[in-house]
Chain A
């Protein structure tokens, strides 16, 4: 551990991070996930200091390569990098550079030539981080690829649940909303089930993908059932554009059938947690009274996001370093 700022006593002693990249939670073992969470726990305290900075990644260059607009994830990675003393550059790439004839791999080769250590990438197409990781020696962190995975979001969700409930094993988590198009749902299903929680997904059939049970989750169309059984309710954003694809007749219809409001929340366990990856579509999937109510841990999720991203940056940077030493 560099510079004495970080310890990972909570981690399983045998766990060690060896991966160059973080592409998804499907690829990780339970031990690897616990290692990230334990590392994040030890980083959490740094953000509470008056001087919120440790020199762990001094001299490392990180690029935030975002092909989709994002404020919170990009900012969270940027702050995480800065609190570890890394240099970070934001590139808001549009897919228009591709229409000019430059391919994604051209962009990656250019970054390679700029001697970047870590690429944090978000892209509307599933699998882009995997494509890039195969073609660069830099570490690649998936900050959301299409409807595939958003591993750091799921990790911060796990950290938040663990913080509030003291455990993950044996908990029942209901994920409610547009499961079919959600990378957050997929990463959470992998992460939660690997750590022993039971996941139910809930929404109208048009928003539940076929074969969801293959990921290890149960599906229900009954919102009451999803609420009653749950220790955690994780709401997903219902996107306006999905209406055009005829997936729900209207946002009003969705709110009436599946929205969590003052009345529906009374079905829940008294100590239920309300989570949302943000930004909240107030008055659609979540009523303001619930989003801002006593069960809500939505802002804790945001705070934990920085700790989790510090942990991930730190671990992949360490793995890349030991790989380089092995080569020598």
Chain B
């Protein structure tokens, strides 16, 4: 909390929650928005933030990050991850529970939240494990986890294979009105795979992961969600068949939401050429036709939100042969630029739809109330220069993870300022 009063002046406000899209000034007092008007006069004691030529957006929300703490603090911590999130324009993030040990009990959720609060840069909203130790054998104590403050449950990285357990999880989670997040992958079909099963896999002689290893699990989960009335959220969609399955399920009224990553929207399997492990990610970067289908899904509302799946690794692990290197991209700091470059610049998506996917919808899925630029709401906002072009240099990332398939690429759209609860926190 700060008693300082801020005036965000001269910017173009885009806020899908209030459907604002135009020139507004925003007054912030005591950490909350107190006034939004087309033009406000400066008064004494007011700090002016000149936002002319900038977009003023609700703070971005990332439903899917890996902060590695506890267990692999050499890859990332809640502190370094929070800093990377701010650099990427985010004011809230949801860390996945696949740490060591896994976040499968209330105390682990509480610790992560407290550490997030101590760092104090972004809202850290943990996702709890779906099964004990993420072993896929017995469900965690959902009530304890939600009481401790987690926002969803997932065994991310280890898809729940047991159909009966998935059914019970979807049924039982209805008590709490929160989603089960599924990393959809049939491990029998994807076994040994390191790259999309497509042209590049054959050229490079690498074992492929077929799109169907994702689609068959989504098909099952949609059937179970329909059976139970439970809420399934599908993580990181990667292929056209998955988009089609979810589009049809939504038409039938199945309670399903889903996300896509910036890298799947911007890149294809070609990014792996010459064995670039920075582009090794799971699910893998797929074909151009899949990429187009993902963009279409985002445009027509089949895909609810964009999440980074920020997955930092150390240099020594990533500087290995393609089979041995771990899956994962350091994605927080390129998310906005990648989306603007892939979607806005070519005219495929509107800014308001992009911000729906990067802020409003993930906030709703995470159960954050409000999260719009309206009077009385917490002042969480992100200022963006929509035109600035920059070259990605992963060595300069704030995150400990320095591996990005966008390395050396020119991106358009840059985060200029992030304000959380009325305080400028970066970048």
Contacts and interface: CB of A to CB of B under 8 A. Distances in A.
B199 A131 contact: no
B206 A131 contact: no
Nearest to A181: B205
Contacts of A214: 199, 202-203
A208 to B, nearest CB: 10
Contacts of A123: 321
Contacts of B199: 211, 214
Interface centre among A125, A128, A145 (most CB of B within 10 A): A125
A123 B202 CA distance: 18
6 contacts: A123-B321, A126-B275, A127-B275, A128-B321, A209-B202, A210-B208
Interface string B187-227: 00000000001110111111010000000000000000000
B289 to A, nearest CB: 13
B144 interface: no
A148 B194 CA distance: 14
B241 to A, nearest CB: 15
Contacts of B208: 210
Given A126-B275, A127-B275, A131-B275, A212 B323 contact: no
A126 B203 contact: no
A26 B273 CA distance: 12
B210 to A, nearest CB: 9
B205 A126 contact: yes
Interface residues of A, number: 25
Interface of A: 26, 98, 103-105, 123, 125-128, 130-131, 145-149, 183, 186, 209-212, 214-215
Contacts of B323: 125-126, 146
Given A98-B324, A103-B316, A214-B202, 11 more contacts: A125-B321, A127-B274, A130-B274, A130-B275, A145-B205, A146-B205, A147-B206, A148-B206, A209-B201, A212-B202, A215-B202
B225 to A, nearest CB: 31
B319 interface: yes
A146 B324 CA distance: 12
Nearest to B319: A105
B402 to A, nearest CB: 16
Given A131-B275, A210-B198, A211-B199, A186 B320 contact: no
B322 interface: yes
Contacts of A131: 275, 319-321
Contact of B205 (A98, A104, A148, A211): A148
Contacts of A215: 202-203
Nearest to B195: A126
Given A103-B316, A125-B321, A210-B198, A186 B275 contact: no
Contacts of B275: 126-127, 130-131
A98 B316 CA distance: 12
Contacts of A103: 316, 319-320
B212 to A, nearest CB: 12
A209 B210 CA distance: 12
B202 A126 contact: no
Nearest first, the 7 closest Cβ-Cβ pairs linking A and B are A127-B275, A148-B205, A147-B205, A125-B321, A125-B323, A211-B199, A209-B202
Nearest to B317: A103
B205 A149 contact: yes
Nearest to A148: B205
A165 B230 CA distance: 69
Contacts of A127: 204, 206, 274-275, 321-322
Interface of B: 197-199, 201-206, 208, 274-275, 316, 319-324
A210 B202 contact: yes
Contacts of A186: 203, 205
A4 to B, nearest CB: 39
B195 to A, nearest CB: 10
A126 B197 contact: no
Contacts of B324: 98, 125
A307 B169 CA distance: 65
Contacts of B319: 103, 105, 131
A104 B319 CA distance: 9
A127 B206 CA distance: 9
B315 to A, nearest CB: 10
A210 B321 CA distance: 23
A90 to B, nearest CB: 21
A131 B323 CA distance: 12
A210 B197 contact: yes
B113 to A, nearest CB: 35
Contacts of A126: 204-206, 275, 321-323
A148 B199 CA distance: 13
A133 to B, nearest CB: 10
Contacts of A146: 205-206, 323
Interface centre among A26, A211, A214, A215 (most CB of B within 10 A): A211
Given A126-B322, A147-B205, A183-B205, A211 B274 contact: no
A201 B142 CA distance: 54
A192 B201 CA distance: 20
A8 to B, nearest CB: 29
A185 to B, nearest CB: 9
A192 to B, nearest CB: 16
B262 to A, nearest CB: 25
Contacts of A183: 205
Contacts of A26: 203
Contacts of A148: 204-206
B203 A104 contact: no
Nearest to A147: B205
Contacts of B316: 103, 105
Contacts of A209: 201-202
A26 B274 CA distance: 11
Nearest to A179: B202
B249 to A, nearest CB: 28
A214 B203 CA distance: 8
Contacts of A125: 321-324
Contacts of B321: 104, 123, 125-128, 131
Contacts of A210: 197-198, 201-202, 208
A138 B206 CA distance: 26
